[in-house]
Amino acid sequence: MKKFLSVILALSLFLSLAVVSAHAEDITLDVIIAQYGDNTQNWFLGEGMDGSNFVKKFEEANPGIKLNLEVVSWNDLYTVVSTRISNNNAPDILNIDVFADYANEGLLLPVSDYCPEELFNDFFPQFIEQSVIDGTVWAVPDLASARAVFYNEDLLREAGVDKVPETWAELEDASQAILDAFGGDVYPWGIDMTTDEGQAAFAYYVWGNNGGFVDENGEWALNTDANVEAIEYAIGLVNKGFTNPNPATQTRYDIQDMFAAGKMAMIIAPNQLPTYIKSKEGTVEPGTAALPHNEGATSSSVGVMDRIMAFRDDSAPDQAARNEAIGKFLTFFYDPANYVGWVSMEGFLPAVNSAVGALVESDPSFQAWLDVLGSAKFYPTTKAEWNDVKQGVIAVEQQALTGGNVKDLLDALQAQITGK
Amino acid sequence: MRSVFVRHRWEPYLWILPSILLMLVFVVFPIGIVFRLAFSRISRAGVVGEFIGLKNFQDAVSSTAFPQVMLNTAFWVVSVVGLSTLIGFTCAMVLNQPFRGRKIARSIMVFPWAASLVIQASVWNYIIKMEYGNLNNILLNLGFLQNAVNWRASYQIEFIWECAVGIIVTIPFVTFTVLSGLQSIDASYYEAATVDGAGFWNKLRHVTIPLVKPSLTVSTVLNIIYVFNSFPIIYTITKGAPANKTDTMVTYLYMLAFYDQRKGPATALSVIGFLILCVASGCYMLMTMRKEDSL
Amino acid sequence: MKTLSANPVPRRRILLLILSALLLTILLCSLTFLRFSSQLYVKRSPNTFVGDEKYKTVRQEVELQLEDFRTQGTDAVIEEQVIERVNSKNETTSLVIFTICAANSRSGWNLLSAGLPSSYLLALILVLSAAAWLLTLCSSFSGNRALGIASFAFSLAAFFLIPVIFNRLNLDLSRTAALAQSGGDTAALDRLRPALDRFLFGSTAGDQLDSMLSALKYNICAAPFLLLLPAFITVCASVLAACRPLKKTLLRVALYVSVILFSLFILYPFFVMFITAFRSNTETTDMYFLRILPSRWVFSNLGDILKRNVLRYLGNSLLISGGATIIALLCGIPAAYAMARMDFRGKKAYLGFVIMSQMFSPVVLLVGISRLMNTLHLNDTLMGLMFINAAFNQAFAIWLLRGTFVSISSEMEQAACIDGCSVLGAMLRILLPMAAPGIVTTLIFVFINAWNEYTVSTVLISTQTNKPITVGITQFSSFNMIEWQYLFAAALLATVPVIILFMLIEKHLAAGLTAGGVKG
């Protein structure tokens, strides 16, 4: 038995070594792509790109470079990435939302090392700004989405709400009117405070009250009076019965489903909501409006952006060739011939200028969204503590939902973040 | 059992060597790494740094969610193991009776065992959704309800659902273990008891339970370990939300490690969990084995 | 009949029972088979104060509506409810809800003559009960036990139909109400419309029926359950007539009922998985709960997921589980053999070691395992997963196998050894064939555990085509939406083979565990 085992072990060792060495002359790039929708995997690895797929096309166009590309669901993405980093086995190219931790620990290559000049200038500058730490660009945006209020016109009209609420007070009155008109059949307003995306809810409300994650100097300012008021307001909406019943476990998709089914009157959602409703064969024709704000504050749109970044690999024999290969990957990806299909497939917004023309041509509503995005606020993802803050505000929201005091909770969070 | 099988003193060790090797390499080595990590600084991105003593343990234990998580874990283990043992025992008693369709009933009993936990947890997650869940669908369509009911109205209720799912998927294991014990009981014991005038409860207490106990003992230990380490049910249904109030230790440390990016405290927690399990099942084994001296 | 003479039941008692059941049935059918107060019309009027202009206009509107109903011969009244609140600007707002209610009571005879699907069910119940009464009487007078058993069967059938008729009735109404509201499938509505009109409103609703039905939503009371009482009496009577000891019969019935209920409960999630796997994408999140079964069976869901690599994932799972099982048995059998047949120092320590090795769940060890795989160059290979799964199932395998071996007497092997056979030969030729059931059980266990493993595979496998099924199906719960129908279709594919496997070995299962259990 022992012999057998050792034979197997030795064999497998040998085999896997052999596999590794077989491609030694080629450069193999490990790529991890986040799964945005049901088409992502098909596009990269299946037959979703005109009967072929990204990997095949890329390898045909760039002989000598092999892609080991993996599409990972968001559920597992952080687990996979951080486990691989812990084991010095980081991917070469990673598509994810956060980057500050990686950059601060010196794991990333500066974008200037591998990104061709021409491509770099093609990115929207306000997006690139979001990936700068200490003057160095560490990642490039892969796509973005903008958030706005979508409303179900029919439901509002039936409830006698003739003006889409702009302020918080109006939102409460409209919600009350909808409750009155439909009893429990329709939820007036959707809130998602789940572990998946609770930070978005935080942003919607604090930015609508002139609060925010950081103060004007860029220091963390989580427990300001404006923020406390904003979160208390949001929790109040839940407690008054204006929202979906379980904000801590009902994800954005649950809420979008309710909206698509005509069970929810208003919702804050990303720009691809109409695409989503169509895929669910919903008949709701949503209208869009700006996010509601508190009296005396200004409304601000919220932008969310994901990134592509390249990791250092000091063990690579030829750094220049590796950088060049990464550059080729990016060039190929952002080539309008490929990129436009990718972005429009899931209804996202593009990150490069060269894609805008084709996209606006196919769907004129894109232009309006691009304008919204131009003035949108983004999460402070360049700050090192962002991940802690993100998890922290979600915990605060969820604790407040179960009866915690918002002021105390935010004070504690601020102390925890800045005390470090 | 001094016997003809051992010809050389080293021979038994040769026989157990493959399994020891297998476990040394693939279980003990990772455990070793986890122990080392528990005493090291680990950066947010996951880079392993220098030795920092018990700092990780301090962080883990002093976090605000820790007491609640421990309480949940205790509730989870006790309720799932306890109730599934009780129900599984009853099921085994019933399935041991001769009746028409017993074969079918036994085959059905196997179902929850055979389906993967991730899948079953997803199904139950779908069932108890308020807006479109199947439970509401069925009850409304059969006319038992007038309006959709929010089956997960608070986190306490959600946690109870999770325990219930845990119990359902654990029952078959207990049932079949007990059933095997029941089948091996000689009918003469019962005859003797009947002659002595023992009723149902007396037979249960003085014949059935003592004879089934050995097969229950080890399976309970394994059960405790599996349930303590069970991950997919809670992760799929609530992810511990709101604010870790439905987390057990394993899901909590997973969230800590991979969502909060605090791997140091997370590994420290896993070491704590390991110690708890060691003590708990060690005590249990000592307690039951001393009496039976089964080895 | 022997039993009858041995254990005579007074005929008078049976007669009395039957008579009372008959009377009760007639009484309940003609009195209160169904009582409902339907909301015929609801008007919610926000920002209305009692007595102001708006109130007067709305009230007038409602009264007109009431007249409408009255002229159609429906007896109805207006109910008024006022709710006051303070809004965000500290103003008092109020909501007035006008409801036109009709208090109707419909007897069983109404239902019988209405021609609804539930009417036929009720008729069936009555026929069955009547048959049961007749048979019971015949059996008690003729002493024929077979007749008594037949009457028992008939009365049981009637008994179990009562909840069905109640639900069917609700279904007739609520389904129609929902359809009327959503303006959906009108063909079904049209078919039911005349019968419903006849039953609910005495053929007076005419064109108004749709609006009345939409107001009526889910408003039926549980009166049919009252019939349970006469039915129960009938059951008792027929049991007495069948003349078996009552207690034993009831115990038997209780046994079957509880086994059936528990089985249904266990099968329920699998039923959900099955029907959801064949729903359309829209219907998986149907928030109006229109149907229990898919309105259209979308078998193409299966085809769709097959296009998405699912077969490949299944194959990988098969390889991983198969490999893990072989490795676990190859390492586990000798170890278990040594534990069962040999004495050696450190045996207890070894057992402790085995159990200790189970105390970390793979989830906890992710980082460690992943690093190990890097060192061994087994990252992203099926081989690595085989070893991991085998190792994490060693304890269980050894425990089961050891129990099996202990339960088999060692005499034959001893004899063989003395005859010059090697220990290994004795084990292979004598012990293993005898221990086959236990080995099969172990094999299945390890296989299933490996088949169901999720977390380690998530982290270890990065090549798409190397993923096992548990990880593969996560592609159906992506960032944009959970595609329940695909998720469950894939789950179905992953579950059915395992369930069949388990059902096949279920016989050995208990036997294998027996061996494992005895002297733990």
**Based on the domain organization, do A215 and A317 belong to the same domain?**
no
Residue A53 within a domain: yes
What pLDDT score does C224 carry?
62
Q: Tell me: pLDDT of A305 over 70.
A: yes
Closest CA to C310 of C435, C480, C467, C452: C467
Percentage, residues of chain B above pLDDT 90: 22
**Based on the domain organization, do A280 and A267 belong to the same domain?**
yes
- Among the residue ranges B62-71, B106-115, B197-206, C73-82, the one predicted with the least confidence is C73-82
Which chains are within 8 Å of A by 3+ CB pairs?
Answer: B, C
Evaluate whether C428 touches B49 at the Cβ level (below 8 Å): no
Supply B39's token pair.
């005493």
The residue-averaged pLDDT of A98-123 equals 90
Mean pLDDT of chain A: 86
Higher pLDDT, A14 or A25: A25
What pLDDT score does C87 carry?
67
Residue A235 within a domain: yes
Higher pLDDT, B174 or B48: B174
Sign of CA dihedral C44, C45, C46, C50: negative
> What is the distance between the alpha carbons of residues C173 and C178, in angstroms, rounded to a whole number?
9
Angle between helical axes of B134-142 and C145-182 (0-180°, round to 10)? 110
Give start and end residues of each alpha helix (H) in A87-197. 100-104, 111-114, 117-122, 125-128, 153-158, 168-182
Evaluate whether C101 touches C77 at the Cβ level (below 8 Å): yes
Percentage, residues of chain C above pLDDT 90: 10
d(CA B96, nearest CA chain C) in Å = 11
What pLDDT score does C218 carry?
47
Pairing of strands A93-96, A302-310: antiparallel
The per-residue pLDDT for range B276-290, each reduced to its tens digit, is 888 887 787 777 665
β-bridge partners, C102: C38, C76
What pLDDT score does C520 carry?
36
Which residue is closest to A78 within chain B, CA to CA?
A: B258
Q: Do B115 and C491 touch (CB under 8 A)?
A: yes
**Based on the domain organization, do A278 and A216 belong to the same domain?**
yes
Point out the residue among C170, C392, C495 whose CB comes nearest to the CB of B115: C495
The residue-averaged pLDDT of C228-251 equals 71
Q: Tell me: pLDDT of B72 over 70.
A: yes
Q: 3-state SS of chain A: helix, strand, coil percent to 5?
A: 50, 15, 35
What pLDDT score does A80 carry?
85
Run of H or E including C35: strand C34-46
d(CA A240, nearest CA chain C) in Å = 11
Residue A328 within a domain: yes
Instruction: With beta carbons under 8 A apart, name residues in chain A contacting B258.
Output: 78-79, 82
Supply C124's token pair.
């069936």
What pLDDT score does B232 carry?
87
Q: Do B142 and C517 touch (CB under 8 A)?
A: no
Instruction: With beta carbons under 8 A apart, name residues in chain A contacting C46.
Output: 159-160, 176-177, 180-181
β-bridge partners, B250: none
Supply B88's token pair.
């599984």
pLDDT category, C89, cuts 50, 70, 90? low
Evaluate whether C172 touches C116 at the Cβ level (below 8 Å): yes
Evaluate whether C140 touches C9 at the Cβ level (below 8 Å): yes
Which residue is closest to B218 within chain C, CA to CA?
A: C520
What pLDDT score does A326 carry?
93
User: Could you tell me the pTM of the whole model?
Assistant: 0.80
Closest CA to B116 of C6, C343, A217, C447: C447
Q: How far apart are the first and last CA of chain A?
A: 54
pLDDT category, A414, cuts 50, 70, 90? very high
Instruction: With beta carbons under 8 A apart, name residues in chain C contacting A70.
Output: 462-464
Residue A186 within a domain: yes
C359 φ/ψ angles, rounded to the nearest 5 degrees? -80, -10
B130 φ/ψ angles, rounded to the nearest 5 degrees? -75, -45
pLDDT category, B2, cuts 50, 70, 90? very low
Residue type, A118: E
- Write the burial class of residue A309 (CB in 10 Å: 0-12 exposed, 13-18 middle, 19+ buried): buried
Residues contacting B203, CB < 8 A, separation 6+ = B190, B193, B194
pLDDT category, B293, cuts 50, 70, 90? very low
Superfamily of domain B69-240: MetI-like (1.10.3720.10)
What is the predicted ipTM? Answer: 0.89
Q: Tell me: pLDDT of A349 over 60.
A: yes
The residue-averaged pLDDT of A345-355 equals 86
C124 touches chain B (CB under 8 A): no
The per-residue pLDDT for range B113-163, each reduced to its tens digit, is 888 888 899 999 999 988 889 998 888 776 667 678 889 888 999 999 999
Residues contacting C153, CB < 8 A, separation 6+ = none
Mean pLDDT of chain C: 78
pLDDT category, A23, cuts 50, 70, 90? very low
d(CA B52, nearest CA chain A) in Å = 17
Count of structural domains, chain A: 2
What pLDDT score does C4 carry?
41
> What is the distance between the alpha carbons of residues B110 and B89, in angstroms, rounded to a whole number?
15
Q: Do C371 and A87 touch (CB under 8 A)?
A: yes
- Tracing tokens 């208003």 back to the chain, one arrives at A266
Percentage, residues of chain B above pLDDT 70: 93
Evaluate whether B206 touches B224 at the Cβ level (below 8 Å): no
The per-residue pLDDT for range C49-75, each reduced to its tens digit, is 777 888 888 888 888 888 887 776 666
CA distance readout (Å), A183 to A131, A177, C42, C77: 47, 10, 11, 21
Residue type, A137: V
Evaluate whether A301 touches A377 at the Cβ level (below 8 Å): yes
Higher pLDDT, C412 or A122: A122
Q: Tell me: pLDDT of A148 over 80.
A: yes
Evaluate whether C368 touches C375 at the Cβ level (below 8 Å): no
User: Domain holding A81: CATH number?
Assistant: 3.40.190.10
Instruction: With beta carbons under 8 A apart, name residues in chain A contacting C280.
Output: 281
C146 φ/ψ angles, rounded to the nearest 5 degrees? -60, -40
Q: How far apart are the first and last CA of chain B?
A: 11
Supply A414's token pair.
């601020």
Q: Tell me: pLDDT of C472 over 70.
A: yes
What pLDDT score does A20 carry?
47
DSSP letter (8 states) at residue B28? I
> What is the distance between the alpha carbons of residues A93 and A70, in angstroms, rounded to a whole number?
10
pLDDT category, C3, cuts 50, 70, 90? very low
Evaluate whether A168 touches A292 at the Cβ level (below 8 Å): yes
Higher pLDDT, B207 or B247: B247
Residue A341 within a domain: yes
B46 φ/ψ angles, rounded to the nearest 5 degrees? 110, 10
Percentage, residues of chain A above pLDDT 70: 94
Residues contacting B260, CB < 8 A, separation 6+ = A387, A388, A391
The per-residue pLDDT for range C120-153, each reduced to its tens digit, is 888 888 888 888 888 877 877 777 777 777 777 7
Per DSSP, the residues of B230-264 read --HHHHHHTTT-STTTT--HHHHHHHHHHTS--HH
Q: Tell me: pLDDT of B209 over 90.
A: no
> What is the distance between the alpha carbons of residues B70 and B56, in angstroms, rounded to a whole number?
17
**Based on the domain organization, do A232 and A250 belong to the same domain?**
yes
**Based on the domain organization, do A83 and A216 belong to the same domain?**
no
B45 touches chain C (CB under 8 A): no
Q: Tell me: pLDDT of A11 over 60.
A: no
What size, in residues, is chain B?
295
> What is the distance between the alpha carbons of residues B99 and B25, in angstroms, rounded to a whole number?
49
Supply C56's token pair.
């007067």
**Based on the domain organization, do A188 and A118 belong to the same domain?**
no
Name the maximum alpha-carbon separation found in chain B.
Answer: 76
Q: Before B242, cis peptide (omega within 30)?
A: yes
Host domain of residue A39 = 25-144+304-374
Residue A20 within a domain: no
Instruction: With beta carbons under 8 A apart, name residues in chain B contacting A195.
Output: 239-241, 255, 259
Other C-beta atoms within 10 Å of C124: how many?
15
Edge to edge, the sheet with strand C34-46 lists: C34-46, C92-106, C76-86
Supply B272's token pair.
């704590």
What pLDDT score does C244 carry?
57
Residue A337 within a domain: yes
What pLDDT score does A367 carry?
83
The per-residue pLDDT for range A55-84, each reduced to its tens digit, is 999 999 998 899 989 888 887 888 888 888
Instruction: With beta carbons under 8 A apart, name residues in chain A contacting B261.
Output: 78, 82, 101, 387-388
The per-residue pLDDT for range A205-221, each reduced to its tens digit, is 999 999 999 988 889 99
Per DSSP, the residues of C377-436 read T-TT-HHHHHHHHHHHTHHHHHHHHHHHHHHS-SHHHHHHHHTT--HHHHIIIIIHHHTH
What pLDDT score does B162 carry?
95
pLDDT category, C249, cuts 50, 70, 90? low
The residue-averaged pLDDT of A125-141 equals 89
Residue A19 within a domain: no
**Based on the domain organization, do A334 and A386 belong to the same domain?**
no
What pLDDT score does B292 carry?
47
The per-residue pLDDT for range C434-458, each reduced to its tens digit, is 887 778 878 877 888 888 888 888 8
- Among the residue ranges B92-106, C24-38, C117-131, C222-236, the one predicted with the least confidence is C24-38
Residues contacting B119, CB < 8 A, separation 6+ = C273, C470, C473, C491, C494, C495
Q: Tell me: pLDDT of A10 over 70.
A: no
DSSP letter (8 states) at residue A224? -
Which residue is closest to B92 within chain C, CA to CA?
A: C510
What pLDDT score does A310 carry?
94
Higher pLDDT, B88 or C308: B88
Closest CA to A198 of A401, A394, A377: A394
Measured in whole angstroms, the distance separating CA C92 from the mean position of its chain's CA atoms is: 49
The residue-averaged pLDDT of A148-152 equals 93
The residue-averaged pLDDT of A191-217 equals 90
Closest CA to C118 of C161, C158, C157: C161
Closest CA to C126 of C35, C229, C231: C231
> What is the distance between the alpha carbons of residues B36 and B263, in angstroms, rounded to a whole number?
12
pLDDT category, C275, cuts 50, 70, 90? very high
